Structure 1
Amino acid sequence: MTTSLTDFSIVPLVVGMASAEEVAEVLDCLWRSEETLIIVSSDLSHYLPYAIAQREDSKTISSILQLNHTVDHEQDCDAMPINGLMLTVRKHHLTSHLLNLRNSGDTAGPREQVVVYGAFVFTPPYSSLGNTDYAA
C-alpha cells in the first residue's frame, strides 16, 4: 500500500465472535468516502481434497459475488468478518469482483489437503477494473 497510497491510516480490527451486524456497524463508522479502503483477510476452506475444496468454495465465492451475507463457518472460518463486509458493501451499493482464486494445490503443494485463498475487490457500480491497478 505504501507504493500506491501517500497518506493513509491503518485501523486493525480483530472480530472474534462479533455478529455480522456488529462488524458492519464498525465498518460503517470507519467508512468516510469512496476513498475508504477496507481489507478483510481470510482463508476460505482448509485441508479438504482439491476437488472438494473447489466445489465447496464455489458456494462461498458465489455468496461473495452476489453480496449474500450468509456465509457460514463451514464455508469459511472467518464468516462473520466476511458477512459484515457484505452488509457494508450492499449498504454502499458496491459491486463485487473476483480478482483471483488459488489454493495450495495450484502451487507446489499436495492436492490431498489444500487451503484456498480468494481475492475480491468491491467498487462503485460503474467503475472500470481495467482502469485501476488493484494488484499494487
Structure 2
Amino acid sequence: MKVRKPAVAGSFYPKDPETLKSLVDKLLEKNTKEEPVGVISPHAGYVYSGKVAGKVLGLLGGKELKVLLIGPSHFVDFEGISFGDYQFFETPLGRVKVDWERIEEFLRLYRLPHALDNRPHMWEHSLEVQLPFLQRLSPNLTIVPIVYGRIDPETLAEFMEFFLEDDTHFVVSSDLSHYYPEEIARWIDEHCHRGIVEGDRESLKTCEACGKVGILASLIIAQRKKLKPKLIAYDTSASAFGDKKAVVGYGGYAFFQ
C-alpha cells in the first residue's frame, strides 16, 4: 500500500487533527442548494486563502463525493500529467482513497510517460491543501489526483472529460496574481474574473494565475457542457496581515448547470 504523506501540514495548515478540524469547519460555508459541477479554489496557506477556499468548496457536498483534483506543478518540470502511484493521500484528518479503477481505465486509452511518476506529487501543495476541506464535506471521499506540467489546455480538458462522465466533480487549484501592490493586484485579478465568468479570452491574457492552464481547461469543459461560471469569493493576502505592498490574489469560482 502506497500512501502520499502530507508535505505542508504544520505550515500551510495545522498539523494537529483537532485544531485542523476546528479551523476547516470554521472556514467552510456549506451551501449545497445548487451544487456545481466543478470549482476553482485557491491553494495558499489557510490564513491567507482559507476563507475563499471555504466558501467555494462549501458548495460541494455528499456522503460519497468523487473529485477530480487538478493542480499545477510548482517544483518539478515535466511534460503532461501525473497521477502518481499512491493508493491513498493522507492528511492529519485521515486517508483519502484514490480511484484506481478509473485511472487504470484511463491509462488503457492513454499511454503517458509520467502518469505514475510520484516526483511531481511529493512536495506539491496545490492538491494537498484542498483535501481537509473535502474530507470534512464527505466522509467517503474518493479522488483522482492530477498534477500537470507542460501541457496545453485542450489536452488537459480532454483528460478531464474522461473522468467527468459520471457524477464526479472537478476542483481546479489556482491562485491569481503574485506579489503586486494591492491596487494593481486587484486590477489584474479583475481580468481573471471577467475572463472566467464571461468567457473573455482577451481578458484571460492579462490574468496571471499560476494554475492558468487548469483554468483554461475548465472553461473548455464549461463551454462543451454548457456550464455557467460564477465568481463566489475573492480576496488578497493583505486581509491576513494588512501588508498591501506585495499581495497574492485568491479567487473562488463555481461552474453550474
- TM-score, normalised to structure 1, is 0.81
Identity across the alignment (%): 27
2:250 to 108, 117, 132: 117
1:75, CA displacement in angstroms? Answer: 1.8
Residues 26 and 69 of structure 1: CA distance in aligned 2, closer, same or farther (over 3 Å): farther
1:31, CA displacement in angstroms? Answer: 0.7
DSSP 3-state at the match of 2:199: coil
Residues 74 and 63 of structure 1: CA distance in aligned 2, closer, same or farther (over 3 Å): closer
Please say if 1:15 is aligned against 2:148: yes
The Cα RMSD (Å) is 1.8
Please say if 1:104 is aligned against 2:237: yes
Q: Where does the alignment leave 5 or more consecutive residues of structure 1 unmatched? A: 125-136
1:17, CA displacement in angstroms? Answer: 1.1
Are the aligned partners of 2:197 and 2:230 in contact in 1 as well (CA < 8 Å)? yes
Residues 119 and 14 of structure 1: CA distance in aligned 2, closer, same or farther (over 3 Å): same
What code does the residue aligned with 2:251 have?
G
When Rg is computed on C-alpha atoms for both structures, the one with the higher figure is: 2
Aligned length: 123
Please identify which structure carries the higher strand content. 2
| Deviations, residues 98-123 of structure 1 (Å, cap 9, x unaligned) | 11101001221410000011011111
Residues 15 and 9 of structure 1: CA distance in aligned 2, closer, same or farther (over 3 Å): same
Give the match for residue 62 of structure 1: 194
Give the whole-Å Cα distance in 2 for the aligned partners of 1:84 and 1:69.
12
Give the match for residue 27 of structure 1: 160
Are the aligned partners of 2:192 and 2:207 in contact in 1 as well (CA < 8 Å)? no
Give the whole-Å Cα distance in 2 for the aligned partners of 1:51 and 1:111.
8
Give the whole-Å Cα distance in 2 for the aligned partners of 1:11 and 1:107.
32
Q: Where does the alignment leave 5 or more consecutive residues of structure 2 unmatched? A: 1-133
